[in-house]
Amino acid sequence: MNLLQLDKIKAKSKRRLGQGHGSGRVKTAGRGTKGQKARNKVAIYFEGGALPLTKRLPFLRGKGRNRSLQVKRYILNVSALNVFPKGTVVTLETLAKQGMIELESIKKSGVKILGDGELQTALTVKLPVSKGAEEKIKKAGGTVEI
């Protein structure tokens, strides 16, 4: 085996501080000299006593301020429903059996069917659908129940 045949190591290992004489970081253990960071742990967001960034910024007011808390629906297009045989009732469970969604992760957010593509089979859909998807389902001979 040559050096060229060894696997590449992508991540550097974490620097182990304060491990005694054999570590090669003896006197100050790799922490420099004096100061708050040399003596104890300091929070990542600590800015040396200055007013923190989070307090310097203005409040985010109005619509959409809690966007991170809002759950987005999982989107499926009508063309994806062509895998089901004629007369199938499409629910969350049938989509999960087909392997299109993961049932546990979808129960919180839900699924919405949009009208992209064409539908060849008549299905009964018991999920939220867009207007375009509803038209295409009815055109194929299916029904929409909510």
pLDDT tens-digit series, residues 119-140: 999 999 999 999 999 999 999 9
pTM: 0.54
pLDDT band at 1 (very low <50, low <70, confident <90, very high): confident
With a CB cutoff of 8 Å and minimum separation 6, the contacts of 126 are 89, 90, 91, 145, 146
pLDDT at 37: 84
> Is the pLDDT assigned to residue 111 strictly greater than 90?
yes
The closest of 74, 81, 95 to 136, measured between CA atoms, is 81
> Is the pLDDT assigned to residue 68 strictly greater than 80?
no
- Please tell me what DSSP assigns to residue 112: E
Cβ 108 vs Cβ 87: under 8 Å: no
* Separation of alpha carbons 7 and 74, rounded Å: 40
